[in-house]
A = this chain, B = another copy of it.
Amino acid sequence: MSVIDAVLERIDQNLDQSLERLFALLRIASISTDPAYKAQCRQAAEHVANDLSSIGFDCSVRPTTGHPVVIGKAAGGSGPRVLFYGHYDVQPVDPVNLWDIPPFEPRIATLAGGRKVITGRGACDDKGQFMTFVEACRAFKAVTGKLPLSITMMIEGEEESGSKGLFGFVRDNAAEFRLDLALVCDTGMWDAQTPAVTTSLRGLLYEEVRIRAADRDLHSGLFGGGAQNPIRVLVKALAALHDDNGRVTIPGFYDGVTELPPKVKADLTSLNLSAEDFLGQVGLKIPAGEKDRILIEQVSTRPTCDVNGIIGGYTGEGSKTVIPGTASAKVSFRLVGEQNPGKIREAFRAFVRQRLPGDCSAEFINHAQNPALQLPYDSPALGKAQAALAAEWGRKAVAVGTGGSIPIVGDFKHVLGMDSLLVGFGLDDDRVHSPNEKYSLTSFHKGIRSWARILAALAD
Residues on A lying within 8 angstroms of B by beta carbon are 202, 204, 206, 208, 213-216, 218-229, 231-232, 234-236, 238-240, 242, 278-279, 282-290, 295, 298-299, 302-304, 306-315, 318-324, 327, 329-330, 332, 334, 357-359, 367-368, 402-405
Contact = CB atoms under 8 A, between A and B. Distances in A.
A372 to B, nearest CB: 12
B235 A307 contact: yes
A308 B224 CA distance: 10
B236 A239 contact: yes
Q: Count copies of this chain in the complex.
A: 2
B226 A287 contact: yes
Contacts of A202: 221
5 tightest CB-CB pairs across the interface, nearest first? Answer: A221-B404, A215-B283, A239-B239, A309-B313, A225-B304
A238 to B, nearest CB: 4
A405 to B, nearest CB: 6
A328 to B, nearest CB: 8
Given A309-B314, A330-B313, A319 B224 contact: no
A283 B214 contact: yes
A350 to B, nearest CB: 19
Contacts of A204: 221, 321
16 contacts: A202-B221, A216-B283, A219-B403, A219-B404, A223-B403, A225-B288, A227-B284, A231-B308, A232-B239, A232-B288, A286-B357, A308-B321, A310-B313, A310-B315, A318-B367, A319-B332
Nearest to A403: B221
B334 A299 contact: no
B286 A359 contact: yes
A369 to B, nearest CB: 11
